[in-house]
Amino acid sequence: MNTPNHPPQNISDTDPTLASQDPKDRLELVGLTGDEWKASIGALLKEEKQPAYRGKTLSSWVFKHLATSFDQMSDLPKAFRENLAQKTILHPLTESNRQVSEDGTEKFLWRLNSGHALESVFIPDGNRRTFCISTQAGCPVKCTFCATGYGGFDGQLTPGQIVDQVIQLSHSTGMLPTNIVFMGMGEPLLNAPNVYKSIEILTAPDQLGLGTRRLTLSTVGIPKRIIELAKLHPQVKLAVSLHATNDELRDEIIPLNKQYPLEMLLSSIKEHHRITGKKVTFEYIILPGVNDSEEDARALARIARSTPSRVNLIGFNPFPQAHYGKPTVPQIQWFRNEIATRFDGEIMIRRSRGEDIQGACGQLSLLHADDKS
């Protein structure tokens, strides 16, 4: 079995964020929750001797007009705009690469001031416009089938760095998302406080105002955080990257399973359903000869039956560092049918998107790793 070739790291959900990368420690405007906005921008307005109503004007430029520069904020005094540019950051991300697939999928590579990189993906599909966004720069979990896992871990993204992906993707594509999935680089529940803040900002009516039901969080499984998510954000859909149906194999391909074995994970998923009433989606990446036997299908069906759920099957999309094969369409179809004879819920075969542009998450940043400053 191949494993990412960097040394093991402690996996913790209290790793520091990349927040203090700005030498002047400026406020990231797009990362302030409503309460933080009132407090921080209220103090700034006082300092600048500006009337309080300008806080709303500024908020409207940031979250409703999606302003790209302070210069656009024509109804704010010029001197105030100049001071805002000194004291705050409008967009913490800078686009450093963009690739467009033949199927319309677009991958964006962003650079932070620190030189670290992260990715987002825009996936158009009929009327659906899905934004797949990152929550960490790299990832400490090191799953063996995931390009991000081979690139190392640089740090937690701030709420502003998470939200700015949505704002900048909306700009670049000219469209707001119909769906947002926390499924890019990183394990969202290892950066839970910042992810929760970003959910607040994305959904608050006087900020981005996107419906909570449009959000899906995908995790390899941190039980206490799954229950916390259910309590704090019951409308956010839960997807669990299962990928193996026994601890022996799951320990091998998802190292975090050693900390949170399957029994704990499945019991937290049941609790999530009890609190939210929502079905979980089990994601299962098909690794030929590794997790796609008849016995695997039987075990997957058993797990899917144990709680209200749907199953998403994804064929592995090869990349140089991981030595798994690519399943054929008949192999995937056979595995699907094996599950379907034992589980009568929804089983989707997810189309692989953007294969011609380094389709799997993390591949674009691995490709450009040498560009890091």
Q: Does 129 bind ligand SF4 (CB under 6 A)?
A: no
Interatomic CA distance for residues 50 and 298, integer angstroms? 66
322 binds ligand SF4 (CB under 6 A): no
| CA-based torsion, 58, 60, 65, 66: positive or negative | positive
CB of 58 to ligand SF4, least distance (A): 35
Site stretch for ligand SF4 (CB under 6 A), options 20-28, 141-149, 172-180, 196-204: 141-149
Q: Does 359 participate in binding ligand SF4 (rule CB under 6 A)?
A: no
Q: Which residue has the tokens 């075969």?
A: 349
Which tokens sit at 252?
């091998």
**Which lies closer to ligand SF4 via its Cβ, residue 143 or residue 217?**
143
244 binds ligand SF4 (CB under 6 A): no
* Residue 117 touches ligand SF4, criterion: CB under 6 A: no
Q: Least distance in Å: CB of 337 to ligand SF4? A: 26
Question: Among residues 90 and 287, whose Cβ is nearest to ligand SF4?
Answer: 287
Catalytic residue among 139, 143, 146, 361: 361
Q: Give the residue, chosen from 30, 139, 230, 313, that forms a contact with ligand SF4 under the rule CB under 6 A.
A: 139
| Annotation marks residue 119 as catalytic | yes
User: What mask, x for binding ligand SF4 by CB under 6 A, covers residues 151 to 190?
Assistant: ----------------------------------xxx---
- Amino acid identity of 239? A
Is 119 a binder of ligand SF4 (CB under 6 A)? no
Q: Let me know if 361 is a catalytic residue.
A: yes
With CB under 6 A as the contact rule, the residue among 11, 73, 112, 146 that binds ligand SF4 is 146
Round to the nearest angstrom and report the end-to-end CA distance of the chain: 32
Token pair, residue 151, equals: 């690139």
Structure tokens at 142: 């090191």
With contacts defined by CB under 6 A, how many residues of the chain interact with ligand SF4? 12
Cα–Cα–Cα angle for 277, 235, 359, rounded to 5 degrees: 110
Catalytic residue among 119, 187, 200, 283: 119
Nearest to 117 by CA among 322, 363, 352, 318: 363
Residue 227 near residue 268, CB atoms below 8 Å: yes
58 three-state secondary structure: helix
- DSSP bridge pairs for 282: 240, 311
Residue closer to ligand SF4 (CB basis): 130 or 219: 219
Among 29, 41, 143, 199, binds ligand SF4 (CB under 6 A): 143
CB of 67 within 8 A of CB of 29? no
Strands 136-138 and 153-156: antiparallel
Q: Which is nearer to ligand SF4, 260 or 343 (CB)?
A: 260
Question: To 5 degrees, how large is the angle CA 185–CA 26–CA 44?
Answer: 130
The site for ligand SF4 (CB under 6 A) is made up of: 139, 141-143, 146, 148-149, 185-187, 220, 241
Catalytic residues: 119, 361
